[in-house]
Structure 1
């Protein structure tokens, strides 16, 4: 019968190419292709025979990480492999903590990904060689901090504005003037964000927001109407 694979990726050309490549392996079948998280959750029901899901993190509507959480409750029998251009420590940590089946970037070696697909039910965590050091450090951290909350961060628009404006080197007084709030309120937001994200400093908050692609250093003035 072979291994049944579902693919969720918003880039049609990449998704179709991936499906054709996977199906060139005679023992693997692509049974579902989805362009976003909403479609994925609608299509995967109890009757659909799926062994492995190749899932992108960044998708419109419902993102990949939210899909992981839902599917682990709805279809715990499906082995989920993240396949994304993102490889930041935050996403790897999330994948390890959720006990996903693997994490690969889009330039991974094909044989490594195929091995992970074929060994979908062995309980191992598969990843490409260049992620080895990161994964080992993350696994060690999780062993030492087993009770740490793995919930993702929900930043408000105001919090993102303050993160972004600090990232482009505006001081608290300048941020306060731009946002029509007091400097004390700005500092309060910063302190709350440090606690909320468990970072050691506000620089850590900025780096986390960039890693999550919540802000970039280009074009965000239009995003926030600043």
Structure 2
């Protein structure tokens, strides 16, 4: 049996989940909690396999705080966030707090049952669009992280030219400002673009903004 603790501040929601889950696919609701504090206490007493956690609970600890505290005390207990918030900020914070899954209250019943089975088996579960968002964010951060390390490998002259290009200076203006040939400027620019994995000037400007290189003082 998959032993489940249901946490939601609305009694009607808890009752509905109890009716939906009890006895389905070897699932058993062993307890209900109306806030984060009660969830932590009951989880310690009942040692459920899965805690079905709402995020927004006005009284006591919210779902994120409760998840973090619960996972610290009981790392083997899976927490599945069940919420109405289709928001990537909540999603990322839930994962950071140790949640094993994140699913919307608007999801079909069968999807919820599947999610509970996934997290109880030690796997992670995210609803489809959340997976896409998370992967996109991960790849974006990975790209910037790699670029950040490569930036330190640029020569001082390359960094200087990168900053000037991003500020809108033409190759001719840069050559006059640095007292070097236009050909040399173009060579440095080509090296910078290649090292950073950038293909266009707008990409270069965007990168410079994120690196804080547009100080015009």
User: What 5-or-longer segments of structure 1 have no aligned partner?
Assistant: 147-199, 201-226
Are the counterparts in 1 of residues 67 and 98 from structure 2 also a CA contact under 8 Å? Answer: no
- Shift in Å, 1:94: 1.5
- Shift in Å, 1:133: 2.1
- Shift in Å, 1:122: 4.0
* Structure 2 residue aligned with 1:115: 114
CA distance in structure 2 between the partners assigned to 1:83 and 1:69 by the alignment: 15
CA distance in structure 2 between the partners assigned to 1:82 and 1:145 by the alignment: 29
* Structure 1 residue aligned with 2:103: 104
> For 1:69-108, what aligned pairs fall within 5 Å after superposition?
69-108=68-107
Describe the shift of the 1:22–1:98 C-alpha distance in structure 2 as closer, same or farther (beyond 3 A): same
After superposition, the CA RMSD in angstroms is 2.2
CA distance in structure 2 between the partners assigned to 1:84 and 1:65 by the alignment: 11
* Structure 2 residue aligned with 1:51: 49
Q: For residues 119-148 of structure 1, what are the alpha-carbon distances to aligned partners after superposition, in whole Å with 9 as ceiling and x for unaligned?
A: 3344432122233321222343565689xx
CA distance in structure 2 between the partners assigned to 1:12 and 1:145 by the alignment: 45
TM-score, length-scaled by structure 2: 0.60
Describe the shift of the 1:55–1:143 C-alpha distance in structure 2 as closer, same or farther (beyond 3 A): farther
> For 1:70-219, what aligned pairs fall within 5 Å after superposition?
70-141=69-140
* Structure 1 residue aligned with 2:35: 36
CA distance in structure 2 between the partners assigned to 1:143 and 1:71 by the alignment: 30
Describe the shift of the 1:38–1:135 C-alpha distance in structure 2 as closer, same or farther (beyond 3 A): same
Q: 4+ runs of 1 displaced by more than 3 Å?
A: 138-146
SS, match of residue 62 in structure 1: coil
Are the counterparts in 1 of residues 2 and 49 from structure 2 also a CA contact under 8 Å? Answer: yes
Task: Indicate the structure (1 or 2) with the bigger Cα radius of gyration.
Answer: 2
SS, match of residue 132 in structure 1: helix
Does 2:2 match 1:18? Answer: no
CA distance in structure 2 between the partners assigned to 1:100 and 1:126 by the alignment: 10
CA distance in structure 2 between the partners assigned to 1:56 and 1:93 by the alignment: 15
Describe the shift of the 1:144–1:41 C-alpha distance in structure 2 as closer, same or farther (beyond 3 A): farther
Are the counterparts in 1 of residues 71 and 98 from structure 2 also a CA contact under 8 Å? Answer: no
Structure with higher helix content: 2
SS, match of residue 44 in structure 1: helix
* Structure 1 residue aligned with 2:184: none
Residues 50-59 or 97-106, more deviating: 97-106
